[in-house]
Structure 1
Amino acid sequence: MVIVEFVIVPLGQKSLSRYVAEVVKLLERKGVKYQLTPMATIIEVPTVRDAFEILEQAHELMFELGAERVSTTVRIDDRRDVERKMEDKVKSVMEKVRGG
């Protein structure tokens, strides 16, 4: 699985929650596993190609919602030696925190 963190910001907007909500609806319609955080959205998809297709749709959605300028930032974790999911990464850290 590829884990992708992204932030899409329609520039010039004071509140972003309505824009984020529409991206979350897009992810849910597509059946994409996601985790919403206070500062970004994280998705888990099979391939980088899948990630970029979804990111393009989310980016374009901002223009459909009336944005005139959009800034998108993306971080990709693509590990091929083992199958890792979002919760695996968190679990690994928390085990170390608890002395495991």
Structure 2
Amino acid sequence: MVIVEFVVVPLGEKSLSRYVAEIVKLLGTRGIKYQLTPMSTIIEVPTVEEAFEIIKEAHELMFKLGAQRVSTTVRIDDRRDRSVRMEDKVRSVMEKVHGG
């Protein structure tokens, strides 16, 4: 699995929640596993290619919603030695926090 964090920002907008809501709806219709954070969206997909396809769709969606300028940032965690899921990474940290 590939874990990807991305942020899509329609520049010049004071509130982004309506835009983020539309991205979350997009992920839901695509059946993508995601985690919404206060600052970004994290998705888990089988391939980098699929991640880029989804991010491109989210980026273009901002223009469809009326944005005139969009900035998108992407961060990718692609492991080839073993499969790691989002919850595995969080669990590993929390075990260390609690002395496990």
Aligned length: 100
Q: How big is the shift at 1:39?
A: 0.3
Q: Distance in 1 between matches of 2:52 and 2:40?
A: 16
Amino acid at match of 1:27: L
| RMSD (Å), alpha carbons | 0.3
Q: Distance in 2 between matches of 1:82 and 1:2?
A: 11
The two structures have a TM-score, normalised by structure 2, of 0.99
Amino acid at match of 2:96: K
Aligned to 2:89: 89
Aligned to 2:4: 4
The two structures have a TM-score, normalised by structure 1, of 0.99
Corresponding position: 1:63 with 2:48? no
Structure 1, gaps ≥5 residues long:
none
Aligned to 1:54: 54
Identity between Structure 1 and Structure 2 (%): 79
SS of the counterpart of 1:80? coil
Q: Distance in 1 between matches of 2:68 and 2:43?
A: 25
Runs (4+) off by over 2 Å: none
Structure 2, gaps ≥5 residues long:
none
